[in-house]
């Protein structure tokens, strides 16, 4: 059952009170809440704690590796937006790259934050060496540069036209080492060099490196996002040793004394031990999660942006695809099953795709759209919500047709019993019938996921944090549950996540809903990163 409260160390979202359920309903978690909003950049702070940047949560946390306690340093809704990597100077100032806003910010030990630069597209990798600040832009044609942290002068460009450089470090030899994801190599340059700077390849033929640090013996250690390997690399000859084989999605690493810790997009923090052994420090989990669907096999599938999962009844998550796996369509948000092993998805990059994870294949049905959310398949084919333009679209036979315009922040879509689509928009749910838009339910806050089963419409309202049942035949309304961990925490206004091309477009929440063959309702509790299962008592 849902816990009565979630302490800070148990999850990223604290329920002040247990959810309130309507009579005749029960609820349980199908996954544990996530402790982080994923895990990206890692850096050991002056206090010995591991500082964790969390892009999609706009949060920086500090992990005490001795106690396992996690403290929030910079929270969602605060001054730092979508932090991807962090570094410290000798005075204890924390520097963060804000990858989606092209910014670099500094947070003093006292908590004051200011923006150093706001004109660095895809600012990502960052390191401090002798109180000099170096950053890189993780994009095709990215730059490496040194920033002026005092006078605000223009950056000193070290290298240009680098194919997606990432988390970097200055080695014992005074050279700047950095992974180049687009080349699948690690390069180095002399940060004191003058034009023309010619990079030197240190290692090649890797598993798509995305971070490097140095161990106490002067060897490079690098995480591989595609293969999931942690490699130790001799910087003198490029010789590689595998320290660990983990799951794909590794993002960064840090040393605490002689101990090595790595991060994963899932929020998992792992300690790498001798002999390719590992120890889980923080478990991974769901990042958002976003939309849900039930397949013809009766199984529950979860869109989690960077990952696509099968969620078993025992609560175990099975990865069916991720951003760096073959045929993955992109950052997946909207989801509906469309036959055995086949799904129609929408991506934050503006695509509608037919995705077959077992074959590692995606067929793109539409592209170039603006902030797609919900998707459904009905008698008239595929319909999808385009939030950026406030439209409902039909996608069929290589053509995209506009079914409705002027929608206010639409999110979810479902097919009604009459074959017409229902759409959730700000404050209400509407029915689209030809050129007509008819209000079906009003007086809502921010309805997101919607579901039709027979004469019943179920709505997840992220503002009121409730699950609502509406009888479409008579119009009666029942609040099935309130006080749910969906939407933003109280008194928090999240800053927009603008995306990080080519990896994703703009990202936003979507508390989805699906129904199992036995009538169980599944809801994405995006605030705490879990999936909730609602059942009528006595019917299971």
DSSP 165: B
The pLDDT assigned to 9 comes to 37
Q: Can you read off the two tokens belonging to residue 507?
A: 């990202």
- Cis, bond preceding 528 (omega within 30 deg of 0): no
Strands of 361-366's sheet in order across: 332-337, 343-347, 352-356, 361-366
Answer for the pair 13, 20: CB distance below 8 angstroms, yes or no: no
Q: What is the pLDDT along the chain (540 residues), one digit of tens a residue?
A: 444 333 333 568 877 788 999 999 999 999 999 999 999 999 999 999 999 999 999 999 999 999 999 999 999 999 999 999 999 999 999 999 999 999 999 999 889 999 999 999 999 999 999 999 999 999 999 999 999 998 889 999 999 999 999 999 999 999 999 999 999 999 999 999 877 789 999 999 999 999 999 999 999 999 999 999 999 999 999 999 999 999 999 999 999 999 999 999 999 999 999 999 999 999 999 999 999 999 999 999 999 999 999 999 999 999 999 999 999 999 999 999 999 999 999 999 999 999 999 999 999 999 999 999 999 999 889 999 999 999 999 999 889 999 999 999 999 999 999 999 999 999 999 999 988 999 999 999 999 999 999 999 999 999 999 999 999 999 999 999 999 999 988 888 889 999 988 889 999 999 999 999 999 999 999 999 999 999 999 755
503-519 b/e (C-beta count within 10 Å ≥ 16 → b): bbbbbbbbbbbbbbeee
Q: How far apart are CA 205 and CA 209, in angstroms?
A: 10
How far, in Å, CA of 59 to CA of 37, rounded? 8
User: Look-up: residue for tokens 């603008």?
Assistant: 498
Q: Which of 86, 146, 125, 22 is nearest to 476 (CA)?
A: 22
Cβ(212)–Cβ(202) below 8 Å: no
3-class SS string, 305-355: ECEEEEECCCCCEEEEEECCCCCCCCCEEEEEECCCCCEEEEECCCCEEEE
pTM: 0.94
- What is the layout of strands, in order, in the sheet containing 113-117? 83-88, 94-98, 103-107, 113-117
Per-residue confidence (pLDDT) for residue 539, from 0 to 100: 58
Structural domains in the chain, sorted by start? 28-32+286-486+524-536 (2.120.10.30), 42-282 (2.120.10.30)
Q: How many Cα atoms sit within 13 Å of 53 on the Cβ side?
A: 30
pLDDT reported for residue 435: 86
The answer for residues whose C-beta is within 8 angstroms of residue 473's C-beta and 6 or more apart is 455
Which pair of tokens denotes residue 475? 């119009």
For position 11, what pLDDT does the model report?
Answer: 64
- In the β-sheet with 521-525, what is the strand arrangement from edge to edge? 25-29, 530-536, 521-525, 513-515
């Amino acid at each position: 059952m849902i816990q009565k409260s979630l302490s800070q160390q148990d999850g990223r979202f604290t329920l002040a009170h247990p959810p309130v359920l309507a009579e005749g309903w029960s609820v349980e978690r199908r996954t544990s809440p996530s402790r982080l909003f994923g895990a990206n950049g890692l850096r050991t702070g002056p206090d010995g704690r591991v500082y964790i940047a969390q892009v999609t949560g706009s949060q920086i946390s500090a992990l005490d590796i001795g106690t396992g306690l996690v403290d929030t340093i910079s929270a969602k809704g605060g001054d730092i937006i979508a932090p991807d990597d962090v570094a410290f100077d000798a005075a204890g100032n924390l520097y963060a790259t804000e990858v989606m806003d092209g910014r670099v910010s500094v947070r003093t030990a006292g908590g004051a934050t200011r923006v150093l630069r706001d004109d660095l597209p895809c600012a990502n990798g960052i390191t401090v060496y002798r109180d000099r600040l170096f950053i890189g832009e993780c994009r095709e044609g990215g730059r490496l540069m040194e920033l002026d942290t005092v006078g605000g002068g223009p950056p000193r460009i070290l290298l240009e036209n680098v194919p997606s450089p990432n988390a970097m470090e200055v080695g014992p030899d005074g050279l700047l080492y950095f992974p180049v994801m687009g080349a699948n190599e690690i390069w180095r340059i002399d940060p004191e060099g003058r034009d023309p700077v010619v990079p030197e390849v240190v290692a090649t033929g890797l598993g798509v490196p995305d971070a490097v640090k140095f161990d106490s013996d002067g060897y490079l250690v690098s995480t591989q996002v595609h293969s999931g390997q942690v490699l130790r690399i001799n910087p003198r000859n490029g010789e590689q040793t595998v320290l660990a084989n983990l799951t794909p999605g590794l993002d960064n690493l840090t040393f605490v004394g002689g101990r090595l810790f790595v991060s994963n997009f899932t929020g998992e923090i792992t300690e790498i031990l001798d002999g390719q052994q590992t120890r889980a420090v923080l478990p991974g989990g769901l990042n958002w999660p976003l939309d849900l669907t039930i397949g013809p096999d009766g199984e529950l599938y979860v869109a989690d942006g960077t990952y696509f999962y099968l969620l078993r009844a025992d609560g175990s998550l099975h990865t069916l695809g991720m951003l760096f796996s073959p045929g993955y369509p992109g950052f997946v948000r909207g989801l509906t099953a469309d036959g055995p092993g086949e799904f129609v998805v929408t991506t934050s990059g503006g695509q509608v795709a037919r995705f077959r994870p077992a074959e590692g294949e995606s067929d793109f049905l539409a592209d170039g759209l603006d902030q797609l959310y919900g998707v459904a398949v009905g008698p008239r084919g595929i319909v999808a919500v385009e939030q950026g333009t406030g439209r409902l679209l039909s996608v069929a036979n290589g053509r995209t047709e506009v079914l409705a315009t002027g929608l206010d922040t639409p999110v979810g879509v479902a097919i009604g019993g009459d074959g017409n689509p229902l759409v959730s928009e700000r404050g209400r749910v509407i029915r689209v019938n030809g050129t007509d838009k008819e209000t079906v339910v009003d007086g809502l806050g921010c309805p997101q996921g919607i579901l039709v089963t027979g004469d019943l419409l179920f709505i997840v309202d992220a503002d009121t944090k409730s699950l609502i049942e509406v009888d479409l035949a008579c119009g009666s309304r029942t609040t099935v549950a309130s006080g749910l961990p969906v939407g933003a925490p109280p008194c928090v206004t999240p800053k927009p996540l603008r995306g990080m091309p080519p990896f994703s477009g703009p990202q936003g929440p979507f508390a989805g809903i699906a129904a199992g063959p036995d009538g169980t309702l599944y809801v994405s509790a995006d605030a705490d990163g879990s999936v909730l299962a609602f059942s009528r008592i006595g019917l299971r």
